Structure 1
Amino acid sequence: MPKDVNPDDRAVGRRIYAARKRKGMSQDEATRALTLPDGAMSLFERGMRSVPAPILGRIADLFDADLSYLVTGTAGRSEITPTERDLIRRYRKLSPESRIALYRISETMEVRA
């Protein structure tokens, strides 16, 4: 590891890399989605540059990753799984009527469980 790489930045970068790969995005796609300068994602992932907090939050949102995990390597209190996060994202896109219908379905499923 080069002398100028902070081990904490390197660890954050590895977690960002893993989250991006899980999401199935290339560095270029992530860079465009986050409106970052060319090469910024590479610098972050390799730990060559510290990720500013506002950008780290946007990265977590884009990759559906736990912000606490990206920073510390341990899950935050919410411990929402990627699948649960995806369900929430999809739910938020539903019309009010569809949300009510889905709620009723979940009540029925809960009774059966």
Structure 2
Amino acid sequence: MKEPCVYILASQPYGTLYIGVTSNLLGRLLQHRTDALPGFASRYGVHRLVRYEMCDTMEQAILREKQLKRWHRQWKINLIEADNPHWIDLSVTLGLPALALDSPRHGC
């Protein structure tokens, strides 16, 4: 079943942002996490899902992606922080394990 979606990944809070579109969010997140897709996201370590929006059609998702890509960086940050002020990795809420960088650290 296809579920059109536009999503925003970040390398870390306030880090590098990547905006993409897919009809299979979990599958695409796994591709990003394993760097199976060569390109911008893998080159800059952009793996943390910080926002996603489900759409009715792929056409709507593509239009929203294009719109968000035209936005100023601060507008994108404001959009993320409206629903995710701590920049948590939302892929955990979708059933994926936490990224290694989000795991509790030991020591000082």
TM-score range, shorter chain: under 0.3
Query: Whose strand proportion is higher, 1 or 2?
Result: 2
Q: Which has the higher helix share?
A: 1
Higher relative contact order (CA 8 A, sep 6+): 2
TM-score, with normalisation over the residues of structure 1? Answer: 0.22
Larger Rg: 1
- TM-score normalized with structure 2 length: 0.22
